[in-house]
Amino acid sequence: MKYHVVHSTEYEYTTPAALSLNEVCLQARETPFQTVAAHSFETLPRSDYHRDRVDFFGNLWRLYAFEKPHRKLRIVSTHEIEVFRLDSRGDDVLVGFEPFLQASPFVRPSRVFADYGRPSFSPGGSRLDGLIDLTQRLFHDFVYDPEATEIGTPIEEFFAKRRGVCQDFSHLMLAVLRSLGIPARYVSGYLNTLPPPGKEKVLGADASHAWVAAWLPGLGWVDLDPTNGLVVGNDHLTVAWGRDYGDVTPLKGVVLGGGTQKLTVEVTVRLQSPTITSPTRNIL
């Protein structure tokens, strides 16, 4: 599958911002199942300085400095990406298991989460079947509700309320897997969505997405989407991965002045070619 992706982030300030520094994690990475044919950044106003870096997990970051007064700030990331997952196998390259087994700021393993996940992994059963069963259970037991949580909502609260967004679903699945001793990482990216039958796709109506990759001996990283009950396929486009959301925040920074601010984020994912392999499978 070949995709054209545009991710636009805009800040509008009530008073001029004298200075702002912003670091973005919005450049998709090359993987064994994904090729980035082209990528570009565009900013308005034009930045006075930028610097690129690669983090511990291999993610690509760019730091922007805007040193002149501005009332608006827009950063646009544009991609041409080809995804070719022939099966559920992920990336076999590993930095080290430890970061994906331990607690992290948004993911805290516990006995409660281990107890929730244990029924999916029967003695003598396939660990892959267990991962799929856990994904099914999370999809059935929890409700997607964008009004129920915020970025800083603890997973313990999400677990109790059973309502939240993809970030919450992914953090909970990570906590369950790590509590059971299974290495698991947070993956950020995009999901190609389809408009209702007979309707045109609305520009900017897509959004960033998150899912989970778990390490299985002999298979490598296996990606699953608990929010949608899906084994990840060619409709998922990977940008970055880490221990949790905090490692791959799309944009973060500081601003001097500016008063209050209004944030607008628009994402458009457009399919550029027909399906070349089997589509994403719903495991339910």
Q: Could you report the per-residue pLDDT of 159-210, keeping only the tens digit for each?
A: 999 999 999 999 999 999 999 999 999 999 999 987 777 777 666 668 899 9
Cα 62 to chain centroid distance, Å, stands at: 17
Is residue 17 pLDDT above 50, yes or no? yes
Predicted local confidence at residue 92, as pLDDT: 46
Predicted local confidence at residue 95, as pLDDT: 52
Q: Could you report the per-residue pLDDT of 209-222, keeping only the tens digit for each?
A: 999 999 998 888 99
Select from 124, 86, 113 the least CA-distant residue to 181: 113
What is the torsional sign of CA 204, 135, 115, 102?
Answer: negative
Instruction: Give the Cα separation of 25 and 225 in Å (integer).
Output: 21
pTM of the model: 0.90
Other residues' Cβ atoms within 10 Å of the Cβ of residue 69: 15
Residue 43: is it exposed, middle or buried by C-beta count within 10 angstroms (0-12/13-18/19+)?
A: middle
Q: How far is CA 67 from CA 49, 218, 255, 267, in A?
A: 9, 51, 10, 27
What domains, with CATH codes, occur in the chain?
A: 2-83+250-271 (2.60.40.2250), 98-248 (3.10.620.30)
How does residue 157 score in pLDDT terms, banded at 50, 70 and 90? very high
Predicted local confidence at residue 276, as pLDDT: 43
Is residue 282 pLDDT above 70, yes or no? no
Q: Could you report the per-residue pLDDT of 99-144, keeping only the tens digit for each?
A: 999 999 999 999 999 999 999 998 888 999 999 999 999 999 999 9
Predicted local confidence at residue 62, as pLDDT: 97
Region 54-67: mean pLDDT is 96
Region 36-60: mean pLDDT is 96
